[in-house]
Amino acid sequence: MRTINLFSKSILSSSLVLMSATAMAHKGHHMPAEANASMSMTTESVMSQHTQHQAMTIPTQAAPQASAQHVQQMNHDSTVHTHDHRKEHGAQIYAVTTVDHKWLLNEDGDGGLKSEFETRIGTDENKLFIKVHADKQESHKAEYDAKVLYSRMISDFWDVQAGARYRAEKVERAQQGWDTEEKVDGVLGLHGLAPYFFETDAYVYAGADNYAAFSLETERDLLLTQKLIFKPYLDMNIIFSDDSKYAKKSGLGSATVGLETRYEISKKVMPYVDIAYEYSKGNEATAWQAESDEEQGWQYGMGLRFKF
């Protein structure tokens, strides 16, 4: 009986040992999987956090670049806004020449020929102007006026000009005969567009014999069609002082207000008709010339202008 009990206890002990070993083996098989799962979850969490960190970091890094691009664009816009038009074609040399002849009749039926020649050559910023005027009335000798001017651009619409003027005219002496008066004057003035697009030349003159004067020429084109154009104009000369032997009266020496109607066959050939009211104050009485009275009245005629 005792032998049976010992055998039974041996079998029970062996069974308990086997069950414990099986349980230990079962636990040892599943622990690495749980550890791997835990590690996978941890890796995914870290990767997710890293991705979120990158997503938050990229805009932060791009922001300075966007800001720099915005500042650069603002600087570019500022540069475009303050662009100096005077230098847009500053290096390009060009030349323009105008030749103008017109025949006018006054109220007494006396005719006169007025001729003008103007050429300009240079760049937008620096130009040379040559202007020649000739006036020949039937009852008077011819008068000539020639200017050579250096022109410097000072704004989009104005040039300052400086140079010299040569003038010559035949004058009648107090005694019998004619004499030639020749003078050279210094010139300083402005050339450009006045408000409302009046093309304007304004000059101050100074010369020998205490000569000082001012001249103004202004005109504006009014388009009726692309080829038919009205041009009102004003020319005036003011004498401040003149002590020469053939002096003109001081004050408003002469003035012409007119309206030209031209038809542009092309930009190079332009015939026109002209009607104007002209005033001239006359000459002073000196030892070399007799005083002349003022003259005024209407003039009308036609002309032809070439531009090339």
Mind listing the pLDDT tens digit for each residue in 260-280?
Answer: 999 999 999 999 999 999 999
Domain for residue 246, yes or no? yes
Full domain range(s) for residue 161: 92-307
Write out the E strands in 140-268. Answer: 143-153, 158-172, 178-194, 198-207, 211-219, 222-223, 228-241, 251-263
Domain for residue 107, yes or no? yes
Same domain, 24 and 102: no
Dump pLDDT digits (tens) for 145-170. 999 999 999 999 999 999 999 998 87
Same domain, 17 and 154: no
Same domain, 154 and 37: no
Same domain, 269 and 240: yes
**Whole-number pLDDT of residue 175:** 61
User: Which of 222, 176, 174, 178 minimizes the C-alpha distance to 198?
Assistant: 222
pLDDT grade for 173, boundaries at 50, 70 and 90: low
Dump pLDDT digits (tens) for 214-234. 999 999 999 999 999 999 999
Domain for residue 87, yes or no? no
User: Which of 150, 130, 131, 134 minimizes the C-alpha distance to 142?
Assistant: 134
Give the Cα separation of 283 and 145 in Å (integer): 18
Q: SS3 of 134, please? A: strand
Q: What is the CATH number of the domain that holds 121?
A: 2.40.160.40
**46-60, 175-189, 248-262, 288-302: least confident range:** 46-60
Domain for residue 132, yes or no? yes
Average pLDDT, the chain: 78
Same domain, 228 and 100: yes
Q: Which residue has the higher pLDDT, 45 or 157?
A: 157
**Whole-number pLDDT of residue 38:** 41
Same domain, 40 and 106: no
Q: Is the pLDDT of residue 137 over 70?
A: yes
Give the Cα separation of 42 and 32 in Å (integer): 15
Domain for residue 84, yes or no? no
Same domain, 152 and 70: no
Domain for residue 274, yes or no? yes
Where is the domain boundary, 18, 49, 76?
76
User: Which of 144, 163, 139 minimizes the C-alpha distance to 152?
Assistant: 163
Domain for residue 190, yes or no? yes
Give the Cα separation of 135 and 116 in Å (integer): 9
Q: Which residue has the higher pLDDT, 282 or 30?
A: 282
**Whole-number pLDDT of residue 25:** 42
pLDDT grade for 91, boundaries at 50, 70 and 90: low
How confident is the model over 25-38, as a mean pLDDT? 41
Domain for residue 85, yes or no? no
pLDDT grade for 87, boundaries at 50, 70 and 90: low
Same domain, 266 and 210: yes
**34-43, 149-158, 241-250: least confident range:** 34-43
Q: How many domains does the chain have?
A: 2
Q: Which residue has the higher pLDDT, 91 or 127?
A: 127
Same domain, 39 and 158: no
pLDDT grade for 203, boundaries at 50, 70 and 90: very high
Q: Which residue has the higher pLDDT, 14 or 208?
A: 208
Q: Is the pLDDT of residue 287 over 90?
A: no
Where is the domain boundary, 76, 101, 122?
76
**Whole-number pLDDT of residue 299:** 95
Same domain, 277 and 137: yes
**181 in Cβ contact with 246 (< 8 Å):** yes
Q: Is the pLDDT of residue 41 over 70?
A: no
pLDDT over 70, % of the chain: 69
Same domain, 280 and 182: yes
**Whole-number pLDDT of residue 90:** 53
pLDDT grade for 75, boundaries at 50, 70 and 90: low
Same domain, 132 and 179: yes
